[in-house]
Structure 1
Amino acid sequence: MRRAAAAALLGLLLAGCATFPEQGPREWHEQLEGAGELGGPPVVPEPSPPPQTPPQPGQEGQGGEQQQPSGCEDPDPQVVATCLDPVGAIAVLPDAETALVGERRTGRVLRVQQDTEPELVATVPVDPSGGGGLTGLVLSPSFVEDQLVYAYITTPQDNRVVRLAANDPPEPVLTGIPRGATNNGGALAVDDDGSLLVATGNAGQTDPAPASLAGKLLRIDAQGRPADGNPDPVSTVLSSGLQAPGGICVDPARGTAWITDRRAGEDALHLVVPGPLPAPAWRWPDRPGVAGCAALDGTVAVPQVQSESLFVIRSDVNNLFVGAPEQQLQGAYGRMSAATIAPDGLVWLGTINKAGGEPVPSDDRVIRIQPLSAGGDNRQ
């Protein structure tokens, strides 16, 4: 079993973080069914050693020995929820203390909060084959008023976007996204003007047709229609050329969006622009398994499944990456996938150790990472 003290990270993420209304969400009740041109060099250097940080409260026993999880009890103060199925997506609620978590294989959506048992709020029927299932989750741009949540799912017929409301069955928003034997996963985000960004896999197709919704970045409104400002006003397509997207992250301080993609021969991070995907802003020839991403004020953090770490890079005002990247949380939580930024600037991550990793008794877990304090101590 692996344990490690949670690493301090992303101090810069506190600067310029988004603000949200103070109103909390209404209660949901259980529903049982229903050298790139952007800066460089864009290649990964040798990883830096994991930072050494003081032990976290609750992680040391007598004599300095680390406490290990016992069943679903995890002494790590950064762990918010335990004993989940592999986590496909996370959406943090406006209170910054609670999140909705989607399990990829089961389609369950659970409400999680530290020191509270996860609460089942919806079950979305999904087909997890070919990397599909429930792989995207995002709050409505007007969540405080409408309490709606959007999910990207795979069904036996297609991949699609559905809308979730408390006590109601999933409502289709955008259907007919091709599914195939591989690359069915997708991702969701909300851009800076409130439109929904939808990343779709290529469903195993080498070169999907321009009219196909496979391998695209779509931009739609709340009803699934083309969003205002798309390159083609009658098309949902904003960009093309994706293969197996892992996550989309919108930087609320800058309004820029990034997308990760697991490509043939390399993993890549792209800056989102209309039209065909540009050259990668960063590329990983060793293919560490890039997954979700989180961005704030020029810092981009990318969980990597195979390397079991969080890759952090920083960009200047021109979105050119500067300084040395950091490889953080090396081996601390195993295989991490989903990532998002909370309204208070903290980073939430989900693990997928039950899907090919080496799970500890409390896996799979949702983790909330505390940024580095001014004094360099990550303890709370």
Structure 2
Amino acid sequence: MRATPKRPRAGLRTVSTVVLLGLGTVLPAPAAAAATVDPAATYVLVNRNSGKALDVSGGATGAGAAIIQRTRDDRASQQWQFVGSGGGYYRIKSRVSAMVLGFPSTADRTGLVQSTDTGDPGQQFRPAGPSGRDVRLLNRASGKAVDVLDGSTADGAPIVQLPGSGGAGQRWQLVRLDADVTPPTAPGNPRVSGLTCTQATLSWSASSDDVGVAYYDIYHDGQLMTSVPGTALSAQLSVSPGATWGLHVNARDAAGNVSQASPTVTVTVPQCQSDTQPPTTPTGVTATASGTTVTVRWTASTDNVGVTGYEVLRDGTVAGSTSGAAATSFTDSGLAPNTRYQYQIRARDAQANRSAPSTPVAVTTGTSCATAVCSVTRVATETDLPWGLTTLPDGQVLYGRRDAFEIVRLDPATGTKTVVGRMPGVAGTDGEGGVLGLAVATDFAADPWLYVMHTSTSDNRVVRIRYTGGVLTGTPQVLLTGIPRNKYHNGGRLRFGPDGKLYIATGDGQNGEWAQDRANLAGKVLRINRDGTIPADNPFGTPVWSYGHRNPQGLAFDSQGRLWEQEFGNNVMDETNLIVRGGNYGWPRCEGTTGSCGEAGFVAPKRTYPVAEGSCSGIAIVRDALYIACLRGARLYRAEISGDSLTNVQQYLNGTYGRLRTVEPSADGGLWLTTSNYGDKDSIANNSNESILKVQLGR
């Protein structure tokens, strides 16, 4: 049985957009006004805490029948109309009984019932904020909010009134059954004018929509910059001097349907002033060996404008780099034992002026590894992006060439690469789509399925295909479809859990509201059986395991069977999360620890990272140490799992190999590591120059 959730109907929205300017801070979303409802429309009311729908118990048609929550299936007893009562209040009328909702008293915990429409204040409700598509239903007689008793998520839980708290149990999504479900067409012809060192104007050709375009969302490289009304065909942008950005636009209609992205237009922002003066040469350089690791330290340089970082030269060749004027130390790992190395430091500024190298200092490594990372070996190179990677029981490695849509077998002993097949049905996104995550189950030798997540022309999907005789055979079995796709934010990582279930990380498809919509598969961690069916113990009766994610690309299980997740922030914070069943991780109202992160029910991250030091993609756990591969940060983090915390966080390979995409456990207790330095945002095959690295671990 294939789990193929239908596309969710869009609910009525009061748009509350979080605007991000350049690389600035998150601006708070404006408070939502009281919601406007359409008396001619029919709605299902879905509780934000439980994901279940307001229902008449037993589908009863008589007065006094209790109102409960029940798994949503859009039956007649879950359908409601809003009848105006004046002053922003409505009577909520059942489609199954023609009776209206009401509270027979004003006392706390009074149960909601249906009764004959008398127009009494106890039968009148005002749909108010707090935000986005959520409303609170405030009773006119009591002033109290419609809530689920004791925050229950069970079918049959009574609906009661309680003083307003704004918690998830008092928030209801108005899902309009006759809603617009057609997204606008992609905007066309993006172009830049008026480019200065701080500003640029982006213009585009209009999208079309069956109802009308309400907003255009402007991004650089998948990061939201600003939103403008649908009547605008240009936007004034704040840009950063010296930055190279790929700008693109999405269209959004009033129902929240989001278009595919426009083509990308690349801009290189000029510096605000000419600077040809290099920084001063670093001084005070020291190098200390601990086993096969060397720590280099130096005194900061000065510059007429400002030092932006340092390059570390090992034996005359750049071995790594640091960012920021205060970053005056570097750890060089994975060196040969009993070997003499010579180090120099070179300072750089924002306009790529470099100082002369410092006076060299020499150091000799010890006889054995005394740190976590002992050696790094380049086993293979790739002209396409090696995105997903998994190790087979015999130690051989399978990895995907993202933009070429191929699966390759890598022999770790020789570095020999063999294409074992091309995945059918894959389509790029002119961005970060293609062949993404790979996984195999523990019984692969007896049941040799390769599980693959990929983008298609219409969606993201999870399939499995046989791997026998050293090649892919047969037609892929489609396990899960309907995961929204876009240029960016496709997620893509797959991981089998110790429970034998397949866990899937999905991005929000560049629509933050989808991350909070549990009827939508975007912005989630999903969990399915190996044949694509839904496990009976999933929290919402759907593939959804957790929600409120922006663009998760890292999944890994620790020795206790707990799931850790790595997630891209927008432009403030990345986050590492410990995933709990049914948990809400807050996006888009919360990014890391910024925004409305104090809302009841949001699960806080275990660690956050500034985006400039992160943009981390893959994670792996070996001996309860969590390894995190970072793109923009160009480093490998290592953190020890202690209880439910991450401690003793260290950085390795900082700038040594550039942008790091995927990290996976190897068969011998080490790590596989892949780079993503070229062509990772364009879906063009074979325009990369990447490395597949083998990392030997120590303690």
The two structures have a TM-score, normalised by structure 2, of: 0.42
Q: Tell me by how many angstroms 1:83 deviates.
A: 2.6
Alignment of 1:336 with 2:674, yes or no, is no
AA in 1 matched with 2:463: V
Alignment of 1:266 with 2:592, yes or no, is no
Residue in structure 2 matched with residue 206 of structure 1 by the alignment: 512
CA distance in 1, matches of 2:328, 2:576: 17
Alignment of 1:123 with 2:422, yes or no, is yes
Residue in structure 1 matched with residue 407 of structure 2 by the alignment: 109
CA distance in 1, matches of 2:334, 2:407: 34
Residue in structure 1 matched with residue 465 of structure 2 by the alignment: 164
Instruction: Look up the SS of the partner of 2:336 in the other structure.
Output: coil
Residue in structure 2 matched with residue 241 of structure 1 by the alignment: 548
CA distance in 2, matches of 1:297, 1:88: 24
CA distance in 2, matches of 1:270, 1:369: 24
Residue in structure 1 matched with residue 526 of structure 2 by the alignment: 218
**1:54 pairs with 335, 358, 373, which one?**
335
Equivalent runs, 1:59-78 vs 2, <5 Å? 78=377
Distance verdict in 2 for CA 1:179–1:371, change over 3 Å: same
AA in 1 matched with 2:553: G
**Offset from partner CA, 1:344-368 (integer Å, 9 cap, x none):** 32111111122369xxx99322111
CA distance in 2, matches of 1:47, 1:224: 51
Larger CA Rg, structure 1 vs 2? 2
Distance verdict in 2 for CA 1:8–1:211, change over 3 Å: farther
**1:83 pairs with 377, 382, 386, which one?**
382
Equivalent runs, 1:1-380 vs 2, <5 Å? 49-55=330-336, 78-96=377-395, 98-114=396-412, 115-125=414-424, 126-129=426-429, 130-166=431-467, 167-208=473-514, 209-232=517-540, 234-251=541-558, 253-264=559-570, 265-275=572-582, 276-277=584-585, 278-287=603-612, 288-316=614-642, 318-323=643-648, 325-355=649-679, 363-372=689-698
Identify unmatched segments of 5+ residues in structure 2: 1-290, 294-325, 342-361, 363-374, 468-472, 586-602, 682-686
CA distance in 2, matches of 1:101, 1:52: 25
**Offset from partner CA, 1:124-165 (integer Å, 9 cap, x none):** 142232422112000123212111110110001110001021
AA in 2 matched with 1:157: S
Please say if residues 616 and 633 of structure 2, whose CA atoms lie closer than 8 Å, have aligned partners that are also in contact: no
Please say if residues 630 and 636 of structure 2, whose CA atoms lie closer than 8 Å, have aligned partners that are also in contact: yes
**Offset from partner CA, 1:276-335 (integer Å, 9 cap, x none):** 13211111123421110001332111011112110111121x221223x11101222221
Residue in structure 2 matched with residue 28 of structure 1 by the alignment: none
The two structures have a TM-score, normalised by structure 1, of: 0.75
CA distance in 2, matches of 1:340, 1:104: 17
Please say if residues 384 and 688 of structure 2, whose CA atoms lie closer than 8 Å, have aligned partners that are also in contact: no
**Offset from partner CA, 1:183-237 (integer Å, 9 cap, x none):** 12321101111100011111011211220011111110011111242113x3111
Distance verdict in 2 for CA 1:356–1:239, change over 3 Å: closer
Instruction: Look up the SS of the partner of 1:207 in the other structure.
Output: helix
Distance verdict in 2 for CA 1:345–1:116, change over 3 Å: closer
Instruction: Look up the SS of the partner of 2:446 in the other structure.
Output: helix
Query: Which range moves more in the overlay, 174-183 or 156-165?
Result: 174-183
Distance verdict in 2 for CA 1:255–1:120, change over 3 Å: same
Instruction: Look up the SS of the partner of 2:627 in the other structure.
Output: strand
Q: Tell me by how many angstroms 1:119 deviates.
A: 0.6
CA distance in 1, matches of 2:560, 2:328: 27
CA distance in 1, matches of 2:440, 2:328: 34
Query: Which range moves more in the overlay, 279-288 or 150-159?
Result: 279-288
CA distance in 2, matches of 1:57, 1:165: 47
Distance verdict in 2 for CA 1:356–1:155, change over 3 Å: closer
Residue in structure 2 matched with residue 377 of structure 1 by the alignment: none
AA in 1 matched with 2:402: R
Distance verdict in 2 for CA 1:165–1:312, change over 3 Å: same
- Structure 1 residue ranges (4+ consecutive) displaced by more than 4 angstroms after TM superposition: 45-48
Please say if residues 459 and 484 of structure 2, whose CA atoms lie closer than 8 Å, have aligned partners that are also in contact: yes
CA distance in 1, matches of 2:338, 2:615: 31
CA distance in 1, matches of 2:328, 2:567: 20
Instruction: Look up the SS of the partner of 1:106 in the other structure.
Output: coil
Q: Tell me by how many angstroms 1:47 deviates.
A: 9.4
Please say if residues 305 and 335 of structure 1, whose CA atoms lie closer than 8 Å, have aligned partners that are also in contact: yes
Please say if residues 200 and 216 of structure 1, whose CA atoms lie closer than 8 Å, have aligned partners that are also in contact: yes
CA distance in 1, matches of 2:549, 2:581: 13
Q: Number of aligned pairs?
A: 310
Q: Tell me by how many angstroms 1:57 deviates.
A: 11
Please say if residues 527 and 538 of structure 2, whose CA atoms lie closer than 8 Å, have aligned partners that are also in contact: yes
Identify unmatched segments of 5+ residues in structure 1: 1-6, 10-44, 65-75, 374-380
CA distance in 2, matches of 1:334, 1:256: 30
Please say if residues 292 and 303 of structure 1, whose CA atoms lie closer than 8 Å, have aligned partners that are also in contact: yes
CA distance in 1, matches of 2:641, 2:436: 27
Would you tell me which structure has more strand in proportion to its own residues? 2
Please say if residues 432 and 680 of structure 2, whose CA atoms lie closer than 8 Å, have aligned partners that are also in contact: no
**Structure ranking higher on relative contact order (CA contacts 8 Å, 6+ apart):** 1
CA distance in 1, matches of 2:489, 2:411: 31
CA distance in 1, matches of 2:537, 2:328: 40
Please say if residues 576 and 607 of structure 2, whose CA atoms lie closer than 8 Å, have aligned partners that are also in contact: yes
CA distance in 2, matches of 1:184, 1:283: 21
Distance verdict in 2 for CA 1:53–1:367, change over 3 Å: closer
CA distance in 1, matches of 2:659, 2:338: 23
Q: Tell me by how many angstroms 1:84 deviates.
A: 3.9
CA distance in 1, matches of 2:566, 2:455: 19
Distance verdict in 2 for CA 1:77–1:175, change over 3 Å: same
Please say if residues 552 and 565 of structure 2, whose CA atoms lie closer than 8 Å, have aligned partners that are also in contact: yes
Please say if residues 557 and 563 of structure 2, whose CA atoms lie closer than 8 Å, have aligned partners that are also in contact: yes
CA distance in 2, matches of 1:83, 1:311: 24
Distance verdict in 2 for CA 1:104–1:366, change over 3 Å: same
Distance verdict in 2 for CA 1:91–1:206, change over 3 Å: same
Please say if residues 57 and 77 of structure 1, whose CA atoms lie closer than 8 Å, have aligned partners that are also in contact: no
Please say if residues 332 and 652 of structure 2, whose CA atoms lie closer than 8 Å, have aligned partners that are also in contact: yes
Instruction: Look up the SS of the partner of 1:227 in the other structure.
Output: coil
